[in-house]
Amino acid sequence: MARGSRVSISERTVVTTRVASPFRSYTDGRAIVESRGATVREALADLDRRYPGMRFRMIDEQDRIRPHIRLYVNTDAVEQLDHRIGRGDTLHLICALSGG
């Protein structure tokens, strides 16, 4: 690929995305969906295009992962949205539950 050229979302890596039950209202009840992107940021943006509002439930206005959310690529905890993802990876979207 030429330097400076951009890759369209459709050409980016497709990853399996496992969706925690609190987020399934966005995915029509599906526990597993596909997302596209070379980073977690790109994958979440792709999910938000298809499932509007989903990203905001996980990422705050300062572009940080919300405190009650845990994201994993395979078994690696995601601390930054620029965490790389690749073909064959699984992105896990996990929401801590609380209450009495």
In DSSP notation, 50-91 reads HSTTHHHHHB-TTS-B-TTEEEEETTEEP-STT-B--TT-EE
Q: 74 lies in a domain?
A: yes
Structure token pair of residue 41: 């940021």
In the predicted structure, residue 41 carries a pLDDT above the cut 80: yes
CATH of the domain at 26: 3.10.20.30
- Domain of residue 55, residue span: 9-95
Tell me, yes or no, whether 45 lies in a domain: yes
pTM: 0.84
Number of domains in the chain: 1
The answer as to whether 3 is a domain residue is: no
Within-domain flag for 100? no
Mean pLDDT of the chain: 89
Question: How many Å apart are CA 48 and CA 87, to the nearest integer?
Answer: 20
* pLDDT category of residue 98 using cuts at 50, 70 and 90: low
**Tokens coding 31:** 């526990």
To 5 degrees, how large is the angle CA 45–CA 43–CA 36? Answer: 115
Domain assignment present for 4: no
